[in-house]
Amino acid sequence: MTTAQRIWMTPVAYRRLQDELTTLRGLIASAAPDDDHENSVAVQSARRSRVQQIVDLLLGAVIDENPPDDGVAEPGMVLTVRFEATGDEETFLLGVRGAEYGELEVYSVNSPLGSALAGARVGDRREFVVPSGESMPVTLLRAVPYGMHKTRSS
């Protein structure tokens, strides 16, 4: 027996996913059964696929249980990194794609950057592979729990 992967998300993101699930289930239920146009079949299939994706996310949801404020990159942490090749800095939430978190960009721990940074401590330098196949060095500058990032960025 497998267990659902724990997925950190805010209460707002959880509610948005629940609302989207309700809407999609309503659209699926109200579809005309004799509508066999190719486009309609594709749309219904996409809706069913998204429903399954949302159900999987909600089953593993850990709602607003902030990780410890220990400077370690993990889901629920807002990370600031420096891309060594350019010196550019970026701040983003290490979270779950498919749920919105306001103004923050979200990277999944399954993304190349997210998986490279998972478990990193402030000051650690990691590398990730970009789509072109090139390896990119990145340094973790800051890691704070979601919600605390605004009070600390001032």
Residue 135 structural domain = 77-152
User: What letter would DSSP give residue 14?
Assistant: H
Q: Are residues 39 and 85 in the same domain?
A: no
Q: Are residues 148 and 82 in the same domain?
A: yes
Cβ burial, residue 1 (10 Å; 0-12/13-18/19+): exposed
Report the CATH number that the domain containing residue 98 is assigned in CATH: 3.10.50.30
What is the model's pLDDT at position 3? 47
Q: Are residues 87 and 141 in the same domain?
A: yes
Do 139 and 152 meet the contact criterion of CB atoms below 8 Å apart? Answer: no
The model's pTM: 0.67
Q: Are residues 93 and 117 in the same domain?
A: yes
Give the span between the Cα atoms of 133 and 120, in whole angstroms: 22
Give the span between the Cα atoms of 104 and 9, in whole angstroms: 13
Q: Per-residue pLDDT for the chain (154 aa), expressed as one digit of tens each?
A: 344 466 777 787 788 889 999 999 999 888 776 556 778 888 889 999 999 989 988 887 878 667 778 889 998 899 999 999 999 999 998 887 666 566 788 888 889 999 999 999 999 999 999 999 999 999 999 999 987 666 554 4
